Structures are given as structure tokens and as C-alpha cells.
């Protein structure tokens, strides 16, 4: 953990992220869900952390993001914020607005966004959708909450899209995504995620908007990139999408470490002397078992 005192920490803001696009500096964003991982990600120098509703799949084990609630997002965002502040306090924290938290009305969207900022410590929120949510974005921004857009493959619309498939592959759909990008910029988004679209389209959108584009499965010409920390670390051996580069293979390492622990416990090799505590003044006395009624209950200590 960094020993840098808190009063000299430089926390990135939405203004800093926008300046990075102008300066040609690539933005490195990582999706994380808990305090320990957020601290490590911030220590490593990531510019931004996204607390994604992908936690429904990665953390909770669902087959989509749809079961994730606003309460879940507040809980995990709070944990990530604490992890960042125990580190360098550098990474900007954006929280996803989960399915159902903004679709019903702009008023409901504003309330949800405010809760993520006020209760969870998010510095911005992200919502999925294009021009149809421009007014929702305007209302949230007007309430003082920065908004990151998200177009292309939008997982909350997985049923409408027919699955997790690349978007914008034909001319008509590509033009629609470009219009969506411009509408979100005009509505006040400070940045936007481009997910699973052709690299050529992502490059064109990036050149056409003044706000940073953060790609995932959108080629190398976006202003930044985002990957889920579990994916880039190779925690799940069964999940290997094309757009992920695995920078480690921790799944096998974790399984091996836990297996070694199990073997040590069964063999009596753990805990060893160096893992045990002693008292030089403690004297063990022979306990005299007292008589107790046959129906007396023995209550064990909690583990």
C-alpha cells in the first residue's frame, strides 16, 4: 500500500479524463467489485475503475446482468470506494446504473444516480442506451451527477438484441450508433463506452465526438480501454472471449494454492509452530467435570 499522505493524493476527475483525450493520452479503465481488488487496481496505476453491473455474472453467478439491483450496486460501489481511498486514491470511480433503475422515468433515474453518489461514493454513473435516453442523461447531469454513456452491445438489452453479439456491422446500424454517440455527447455525457462494435466504426465515432471513448471489444483506436479485472487476470478458465487479453492465469494458481492448503490441513502440517500463539504465564489446570442434569445443553462457541 502506498505511504503517500492523503493530502497530496491526486484524484482524477471527469475534467481530467476529458483532457486526456485532448492530449492523446490513453485511458486505462478496469472493472472491479470489491475493496481488496480496487486497492490493487489503484496501486497499479489505473486511471478509472468501473463498478459494473457485470458483477451479476462475475460475482453473483447469474447468466446475465439483469438480476442486479440498485442496492447491490450501492454495496459494491461503497466497497470499491473504500479500497481506492486505502490506496493512492487516484482512480476515478464510475458506477453502473442497473436494469430497472433508470428506464421507467427520468425522475426515477435521477433518484437512482443521486443514491449511487451520495450513499456509495461514486463520482459518476454509467447507463446503457443511445438517443432514446438523451433526456434521461440531461436530467441526471442537471442534478449534478456526471454520466458515462454506453452504446453498441448493451448487456441489459440482451433479450432484445438476441444475445451477446457484435453490433453495428452493417451501414444502417453503424449510422444509428453514430447518431446515438452524438446524441449522448450533446446530452452531456463526459465519456462513453463502445462495446463489441467493429474497430472501423469505433475509430470513426472516436474521431467524431469530443468526449473520450472507452472500448471493450471495439478495437485499438478508442481513447481508452476497459476490461473486467477477473478476465484480465485469468481467474475463470472457462471464459475466454476474443476481446480479452489475459495478463495472468490466476485460476490455476488459486486452485493449486487452495489444494495445497487442503492437503496440509488433512496431513496435520498446518497450522505449524510458526502459525500458533503461546502464553508463558498460562497454567493449564485439570478440569473437574461437574455433575449436570441429563437434559443440560452444551453450547459451542461460534466459529
Residue 269 lies in a domain: yes
287: which DSSP letter? P
Rounded Cα distance between 5 and 91, Å, is 16
Name residues whose C-beta falls within 8 Å of residue 33's C-beta, 6 or more positions apart in sequence: 51, 52, 55, 58, 59, 76, 79, 80
Tell me the CATH number at 212.
3.20.20.60
Residue 228 lies in a domain: yes
Across 13-17, 108-112, 216-220, 236-240, least confident range? 236-240
Domain count of the fold of the chain: 2
Active site residues: 195
Q: Does one domain contain both 185 and 65? A: yes
pLDDT in tens, 63-74: 999 999 999 999
Residue 303 lies in a domain: no
Name residues whose C-beta falls within 8 Å of residue 97's C-beta, 6 or more positions apart in sequence: 53, 70, 73, 109, 112, 113, 116, 125, 126, 127
For residues 72 and 31, is the Cβ–Cβ distance under 8 A?
no
Range of the domain at 150: 6-248
Q: Which residues pair with 125 in a beta bridge?
A: 95, 147
Structure confidence at residue 4 as a pLDDT band (50, 70, 90): very low
pLDDT in tens, 75-87: 999 999 999 999 9
Rounded Cα distance between 158 and 156, Å, is 6
Q: Does one domain contain both 53 and 69? A: yes
Question: Average pLDDT, whole number, for the chain?
Answer: 92
Rounded Cα distance between 149 and 119, Å, is 21
The model carries a pTM of 0.90
Amino acid at each position: 500500500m502506498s505511504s503517500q499522505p492523503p493530502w497530496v493524493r491526486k484524484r482524477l476527475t471527469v475534467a481530467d479524463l476529458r483532457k486526456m483525450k485532448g492530449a492523446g493520452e490513453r485511458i486505462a479503465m478496469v472493472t472491479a467489485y470489491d475493496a481488496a481488488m480496487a486497492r490493487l487496481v489503484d496501486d497499479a496505476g489505473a486511471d478509472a475503475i468501473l463498478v459494473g453491473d457485470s458483477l451479476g455474472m462475475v460475482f453473483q453467478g447469474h447468466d446475465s446482468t439483469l438480476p442486479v439491483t440498485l442496492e447491490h450496486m450501492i454495496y459494491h460501489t461503497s466497497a470499491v470506494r473504500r479500497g481506492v481511498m486505502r490506496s493512492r486514491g487516484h482512480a476515478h470511480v464510475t458506477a453502473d446504473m442497473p436494469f430497472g433503475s433508470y428506464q421507467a422515468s427520468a425522475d426515477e433515474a435521477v433518484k437512482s444516480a443521486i443514491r449511487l453518489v451520495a450513499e456509495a461514493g461514486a463520482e459518476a454513473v454509467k447507463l446503457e442506451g443511445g438517443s432514446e435516453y438523451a433526456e434521461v442523461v440531461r436530467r441526471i447531469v442537471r442534478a449534478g451527477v456526471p454520466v458515462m454513456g454506453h452504446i453498441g452491445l448493451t448487456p441489459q438489452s440482451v433479450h432484445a438484441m438476441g444475445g451477446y453479439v457484435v453490433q453495428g456491422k452493417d451501414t444502417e446500424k453503424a449510422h444509428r450508433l453514430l447518431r446515438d454517440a452524438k446524441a449522448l455527447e450533446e446530452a452531456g455525457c463526459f465519456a462513453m463506452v463502445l462495446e463489441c462494435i467493429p474497430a472501423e466504426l469505433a475509430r470513426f465515432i472516436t474521431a467524431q465526438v469530443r468526449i473520450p471513448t472507452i472500448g471493450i471489444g471495439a478495437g485499438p483506436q478508442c481513447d481508452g480501454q476497459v476490461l473486467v479485472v477477473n478476465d484480465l487476470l485469468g481467474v475463470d478458465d472457462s471464459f475466454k472471449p476474443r476481446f480479452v487479453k489475459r495478463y495472468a492465469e490466476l485460476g490455476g494458481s488459486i486452485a493449486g494454492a487452495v489444494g495445497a492448503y487442503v492437503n496440509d490441513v488433512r496431513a496435520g502440517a498446518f497450522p505449524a509452530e510458526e502459525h500458533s500463539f503461546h502464553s508463558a504465564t498460562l497454567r493449564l489446570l485439570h478440569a473437574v467435570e461437574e455433575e449436570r442434569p441429563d437434559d443440560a445443553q452444551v453450547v459451542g462457541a461460534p466459529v
